Amino acid sequence: MKRFGFRYIRVLLCIVLTTLILAGDILPVKAGVEISAPSAILIEASTGEVIYELNSTERRSPASITKIMNLLLIFENLDEV
Protein backbone atom coordinates (compact mmCIF):
# COMPACT_ATOMS: atom_id res chain seq x y z
CA MET A 1 0.00 0.00 0.00
CA LYS A 2 2.82 2.36 0.87
CA ARG A 3 4.54 1.78 -2.50
CA PHE A 4 1.32 2.53 -4.37
CA GLY A 5 1.29 6.08 -2.98
CA PHE A 6 4.88 6.69 -4.08
CA ARG A 7 4.15 5.38 -7.55
CA TYR A 8 1.08 7.57 -7.79
CA ILE A 9 3.08 10.67 -6.84
CA ARG A 10 5.86 9.80 -9.30
CA VAL A 11 3.42 9.23 -12.15
CA LEU A 12 1.57 12.45 -11.36
CA LEU A 13 4.81 14.41 -11.24
CA CYS A 14 5.97 12.92 -14.55
CA ILE A 15 2.68 13.80 -16.22
CA VAL A 16 2.80 17.39 -14.97
CA LEU A 17 6.44 17.90 -15.99
CA THR A 18 5.91 16.29 -19.41
CA THR A 19 2.90 18.50 -20.04
CA LEU A 20 4.86 21.61 -19.11
CA ILE A 21 7.78 20.62 -21.33
CA LEU A 22 5.58 19.78 -24.33
CA ALA A 23 3.50 22.93 -23.90
CA GLY A 24 6.71 24.96 -24.12
CA ASP A 25 7.57 23.34 -27.46
CA ILE A 26 4.09 23.66 -28.93
CA LEU A 27 3.02 27.13 -27.83
CA PRO A 28 4.57 29.99 -29.83
CA VAL A 29 6.72 32.44 -27.87
CA LYS A 30 6.37 36.10 -28.80
CA ALA A 31 9.12 38.65 -28.31
CA GLY A 32 8.24 41.06 -25.49
CA VAL A 33 5.80 38.68 -23.80
CA GLU A 34 3.99 40.20 -20.84
CA ILE A 35 4.28 38.21 -17.63
CA SER A 36 1.41 38.45 -15.18
CA ALA A 37 3.40 36.91 -12.31
CA PRO A 38 4.60 39.28 -9.58
CA SER A 39 8.18 37.97 -9.97
CA ALA A 40 10.11 35.76 -12.36
CA ILE A 41 13.63 34.75 -13.37
CA LEU A 42 14.89 32.92 -16.46
CA ILE A 43 18.42 31.49 -16.37
CA GLU A 44 20.40 29.75 -19.13
CA ALA A 45 21.23 26.37 -17.54
CA SER A 46 24.55 25.76 -19.29
CA THR A 47 26.08 29.20 -18.64
CA GLY A 48 24.18 30.45 -15.59
CA GLU A 49 23.45 33.71 -17.44
CA VAL A 50 20.30 35.52 -16.30
CA ILE A 51 18.21 36.07 -19.43
CA TYR A 52 15.20 37.75 -17.82
CA GLU A 53 14.26 38.84 -14.32
CA LEU A 54 11.35 40.63 -12.73
CA ASN A 55 11.51 41.32 -8.98
CA SER A 56 13.88 38.35 -8.68
CA THR A 57 15.18 39.40 -5.25
CA GLU A 58 11.70 39.57 -3.72
CA ARG A 59 11.01 36.75 -1.21
CA ARG A 60 8.20 34.41 -2.21
CA SER A 61 6.71 31.09 -1.08
CA PRO A 62 7.78 28.03 -3.09
CA ALA A 63 5.63 27.06 -6.08
CA SER A 64 3.44 23.96 -6.04
CA ILE A 65 5.83 21.88 -8.19
CA THR A 66 8.62 22.67 -5.72
CA LYS A 67 6.46 21.45 -2.85
CA ILE A 68 5.63 18.23 -4.69
CA MET A 69 9.29 17.61 -5.52
CA ASN A 70 10.30 18.19 -1.90
CA LEU A 71 7.69 15.68 -0.70
CA LEU A 72 8.82 13.14 -3.28
CA LEU A 73 12.45 13.44 -2.17
CA ILE A 74 11.48 13.18 1.50
CA PHE A 75 9.39 10.04 0.96
CA GLU A 76 12.08 8.39 -1.16
CA ASN A 77 14.70 9.02 1.53
CA LEU A 78 12.43 7.78 4.34
CA ASP A 79 12.56 4.33 2.76
CA GLU A 80 16.35 4.33 3.04
CA VAL A 81 16.46 5.20 6.75
Q: Is the pLDDT assigned to residue 25 strictly greater than 80?
A: no
Higher pLDDT, 21 or 68: 68
Alpha carbon of residue 8 to chain centroid: 18
Q: Is the pLDDT assigned to residue 22 strictly greater than 70?
A: no
Q: Across all residues in the chain, what is the average pLDDT?
A: 75
- Is 12:61 a contact under the CB 8 Å cutoff? no
d(CA 36, CA 26): 20
30-66 per-position pLDDT tens digit: 556 677 888 888 888 888 888 888 888 888 777 788 8
- Is 67:56 a contact under the CB 8 Å cutoff? no
Q: DSSP string of 17-62? A: HHHHHHHHHHS---TT----SS-EEEE-TTT--EEEEESTTS--PP
